Amino acid sequence: MDANAIDEVILRQIEVALMEDVGPGDITTRAAIKDGPIKARIIAKSAACLAGLPVTNAVFQTLDKTIKIRDLKKDGDRVSPGDVIAEYDGNARVILTGERTALNYLGHLSGIATLTAKFVGMVEGTGAMILDTRKTTPGLRYLEKYAVTCGGGANHRFGLYDMVLIKDNHIACGSITKAVKKVKAFAAGEEFEKNYGYPGNKLTIEIEVVNEAQLKEAVACGVTRLLLDNQSPEQLASLVKAARSLADNLKLEASGNVSLETVRQIAETGIDYISIGALTHSAPSSDFSLNIIS
């Protein structure tokens, strides 16, 4: 993420976050702190994989564009307790008013990156890629998915508009074959590219399958990406073996009941992707503090 080119949507989110915290004004700082220059720094209080520093800086810059910032670390860096992340030189009231919102972003996003890095480390050498999901905080999806990439993971679909995922509830309304035919017909329609911004023949279709019969039906429909959900490592190994015998261009994704204790065994089944909702919905926040130095 380029600190000089933060998306307008993120800037609006920052404004909303500041409005939520500051409201009509920071009473404590206005009353107790003189309006003058100070120097401050953000320090890591826990080991972490850093993510969100440009957003953290943008909080202060939203309050005062004249604030001077010196980054000593960058997103993706591993930091240890006591490491100085960034230094700030500017108005005392601005820095103290923006402190909590800035640290909330940095702690939350670094927590996601840190947990992702742990999962990525556990599957090293297997060829499996760690993915996120759509189980994100409303309004923060872009940032949370960005944090996953800082930790070495990759992004699954961003929303309901950039990829098709036919899941059990879709199949329950008909069948895999019917669902795929309808999706392909829809993608071939004249309005698809106009509405979605890319041609229908570029649309990725993924199907959730739970047994070998569904796997064979999906492959027969020409689908080349399959989601194997809520399977034990033994069941996964069996389905992966069956899938590889049917086609050599399949991409297989495992999901459900994935933990740091089980992810290595899942990766060793020969799966291509492992998607983990916990990366974004259950990552503990990393700990940082802002200290005045003069």
Q: Mind telling me the catalytic residues?
A: 100, 135, 167, 208, 229
Separation between Cα atoms, residue 11 and residue 57, nearest integer Å:
11
Angle between helices 92-122 and 141-150 (to 10 degrees): 60
Choose among 86, 116, 94, 90: nearest CA to 3: 86
Q: Which H/E stretch holds residue 225?
A: strand 225-229
Query: Which of 135, 176, 39, 264 has the alpha carbon at shortest distance from 254?
Result: 264
Q: What are 244's two structure tokens?
A: 């590889």
Which DSSP state fits 201?
A: G
Residue 3 has which token pair?
């600190």
**Residue with the two structure tokens 């960005």:** 146
**Longest Cα separation, the chain:** 72
Give the DSSP per-residue string, 246-274: H-SS-EEEEESS--TTTHHHHHTTT-SEE
269 burial class (0-12, 13-18, 19+ CB within 10 angstroms)? buried
Cα Rg of the chain, angstroms: 23
